[in-house]
Amino acid sequence: MAEITKLIHKYLRHEKKFPHVWCPGCGNGIVLGALIRAIDRTGFSKDEIVLVSGIGCAGRLTVYVDFNTLHTTHGRALTFATGVKLANPKLQVIVVMGDGDATAIGGNHFIHAARRNLNLTAIIVNNNVYGMTGGQYSPTTPYGARAATAVYGHIEQAFSIAELAVTAGAAWVGRGTVYHASLLDQLIEQAILKRGFAVVEAISHCHTQFGRRNRLGGPVEMMRWQKEVAVRVEKAKTMTPEELKDRITIGVLVDRELPVYTHELRKLREASQAALGAK
Amino acid sequence: MTANLTDPTNQGRPLLLQGNEAMVEGALYAGCRFFAGYPITPATEISEVMSWRLPAVGGTFIQMEDEIASMGAVIGASLAGGKAMTATSGPGFSLMQENLGFACIAEVPCVIVNVMRGGPSTGLPTHVSQGDVQQARWGTHGDHPIIVLAAATTRECFDLTVKAFNLSEKYRTPVILLADEVVGHTREKIVLPPAGTIEVVERIRPTMPPEWYIPYEDNLRGVPPMGIFGDGYRYHVTGLTHDVRGFPTERPDEIVPFMDRLFRKINQHFADIQMVVEDLTEDAEVLVLAYGSVARSAKRAVREARARGVKAGLLQLITLWPFPRGLLEPHLRRVKAVLVPELNRGQISREVKRVNQGMTRIDTLNRIDGRLITPAEILDRLVRM
Ligand SMILES: Cc1ncc(C[n+]2csc(CCOP(=O)(O)OP(=O)(O)O)c2C)c(N)n1
Ligand code: SF4
Ligand SMILES: [Mg+2]
């Protein structure tokens, strides 16, 4: 059997849940592929993985994979994941969110999850738009772009998700694109293996809602754009700010050792047990 | 505060506890090992005590960034196997509503305490109210069943917290425990029951081979066994309306049986869920129907009325929702009049009137000024009824 067919049989709810809801050519399928390849490489069993998602096109990912899956409410996936991880720290908890999901309605949860440094993996599929609800602007819609709620061009400035995660204190932050699929596999694998809060921003495309309105072409043209604007972080270090303007750095942005929440919690338990025991 | 950091349980001696503190003890007794919350008056003590009591028993306390997050974390913890709880007051309770609905539709056991204060909005943060009774019933959107209990004393705070966990585990549903500022903050004597003396219920888990497990399949009880993340029963949990396997559906022939079961699992267990306390009701001619702190005033008023020759009785509601209609109706058929005193503009009296259907006279007594209804106020009405 071809490698990919094996993975499909092993990880997808292939008999139950297909065809999927996504538009043909959507980047979400590539993220799904990268995720199962990465998980397969980490060697965790399906029972050990809890995949949590929010609401949106990206959020639909959980339904297709044969893990413990939890499709939550819009923006709140990280809060549910926090409870899962704390109740059973042995579980590997991976969270998939859209850009609106993670940084608009869920923005507060996102920065606090990063600050708290619980051992979670957050994958944010950034397609610069609210795909599921029909193409309204999101916190990553670029200034001037058109959206269903910005027909004359968007008047707000965009968030950079990966940089936001770095500033909020995430232990590990990486960014990839769905064009650079094998890099995305590696980033997700590293993020899962990292002890601490790890964020992967996956730059994706929504040709249906964002591409069409902004005359960016179909999936092929939009992925070509990803190829052209992306620059590896290692190379970016040698470039001037002018050269880096309108470019997107991909690779590992931050990898740092920070106190892990569950570890701190264990110490706290010991301290409180000692205190109560002593009376 | 540090001087207080001793384990109060299993000492067999009377303690002086606030209702809020007793709820913590009740939760620990019931096996709660996860608490997520956000500080708010008049519920804050619950978080504070949980923050040092839980780690000592190997549990987890976390102060989340808001009440939306607290509710999400509680649901996540319950799905991964823990008995989980949060506690809040009006503004925070409002924020919890969306995820509360998630717990209803995904059938995730959890306990939500709301120590009521005056509203709407920031309202009267330090004053008593019973203004969230209808919100507790209908606060989250969509048709859904819910269980809501109301405590009046420190002892009830303990007992009903245990009961709330039991009901939530048994019926796989969120259970809301309503207290109010007076109940939460009043210190009363309590002797905590030794471990093993009060029933503690655990959720039913699947025992069949995982490949046979159909997570939302109906059965006689209407409550499917619950797989726990990591135990080998991999399944899908979603807030979307789902089929018996847990996958989203839009088919009427799957939606209707699902919604029917959601209601049936509560409705067919009314006898177990609906609780009232009958106090001097046997020969009562006038009945006071009250709950929470107001029931305390009513208890005294009823006795004073009897001393003056008025045959009064008190029906204290423990279960507010599902409304214990069956336990009330026999009284409605018999008594001359019913008085419903409450700290809102008539949130339970409207339910009593709905059930009454002209059987007897229903009088109301309402206060919304942040003050408790006194025994004297109730007595004054009883002697004139
Ligand atoms: C509380 C709430 N508000 C609004 C919605 C409607 N809604 C569903 S998905 C979505 C936006 C999704 O955008 P994004 O997170 O970027 O995901 P995408 O669909 O682009 O993958 C919105 C606004 C909702 N489900 N819940
Ligand atoms: S609307 Fe956009 S994001 Fe959603 S499935 Fe279609 S292409 Fe993908
Ligand atoms: Mg999006």
Tell me which amino acid residue A129 is: V
Which of these, A79, A121, A119, A129, lies nearest to A99 by C-alpha position?
A: A129
| Domain match, B187 and B295 both | no
Of B66, B72, B234, Cβ closest to residue A80: B72
The Cα–Cα gap between B281 and B297 comes to: 16
Residues B92-114: pLDDT tens digits? 999 999 999 999 999 999 999 99
SS3 B110: strand
pLDDT at residue A16 in the model: 74
pLDDT at residue B10 in the model: 54
For residues A199-205, give the mean pLDDT.
Answer: 98
Judge whether residue A279 has pLDDT over 50. no
| Domain match, B127 and B30 both | yes
Report the chain A residue with the minimal C-alpha distance to residue B210: A47
Contact B370, B118 (CB under 8 A): yes
| Domain match, B174 and B312 both | no
Length of chain B as a residue count: 385
Does the beta carbon of A169 lie inside 6 Å of ligand 1? no
Is B23 inside a domain boundary?
A: yes
Mutate which of A22, A53, A74 for ligand 1? The one with the most ligand atoms within 8 Å of its CB, which is A74
Model confidence band, residue B377 (pLDDT cutoffs 50, 70, 90): very high
- Parse chain A into domains and list their residue ranges: 2-278
CATH number at residue B300: 3.40.50.920
Domain boundary among B160, B191, B222: B191
Does the beta carbon of A97 lie inside 6 Å of ligand 2? no
> Mind telling me how many Å the CA of B130 is from chain A's nearest CA?
29
For residues A15-22, give the mean pLDDT.
Answer: 84
For residues B242-259, give the mean pLDDT.
Answer: 97
pLDDT at residue B1 in the model: 36
The Cα–Cα gap between A219 and A177 comes to: 13
Mean pLDDT, all residues of chain B:
96
| Domain match, B301 and B176 both | no
Model confidence band, residue B3 (pLDDT cutoffs 50, 70, 90): very low
**Chain centre to alpha carbon of residue B241:** 25
Model confidence band, residue A5 (pLDDT cutoffs 50, 70, 90): confident
Judge whether residue A179 has pLDDT over 70. yes
Judge whether residue B4 has pLDDT over 50. no
Contact A65, A45 (CB under 8 A): no
> Mind telling me how many Å the CA of B113 is from chain A's nearest CA?
18
ipTM of the complex as predicted: 0.97
Residues B303-321: pLDDT tens digits? 999 999 999 999 999 999 9
| Domain match, B21 and B151 both | yes
Judge whether residue B206 has pLDDT over 80. yes
Instruction: Say yes or no for a CB contact (<8 Å) between A88 and B80.
Output: yes
Judge whether residue B339 has pLDDT over 90. yes
Model confidence band, residue A18 (pLDDT cutoffs 50, 70, 90): confident
For residues A119-145, give the mean pLDDT.
Answer: 98
For residues A34-47, give the mean pLDDT.
Answer: 98
pLDDT at residue A4 in the model: 81
pLDDT at residue A13 in the model: 93
Contact A218, A207 (CB under 8 A): yes
Mutate which of A55, A62, A78 for ligand 1? The one with the most ligand atoms within 8 Å of its CB, which is A55
CA distances from B301 to A181, B297, B332, B339, B368 (A): 74, 6, 20, 12, 20
Read off the pTM.
Answer: 0.97
Q: Which of the ligands is closest to the CA of residue A71?
A: 1
Domain with B43 in it? 8-191
pLDDT at residue A154 in the model: 98
| Domain match, B47 and B170 both | yes
Judge whether residue B147 has pLDDT over 90. yes
Chosen CATH of A2-278 out of 3.40.190.10, 3.40.718.10, 3.30.70.1450, 3.40.50.970: 3.40.50.970
pLDDT at residue A15 in the model: 74
Residues in contact with A3: Cβ distance below 8 Å, sequence separation at least 6, in sequence order: none
The Cα–Cα gap between B56 and A275 comes to: 9
Is B220 inside a domain boundary?
A: no
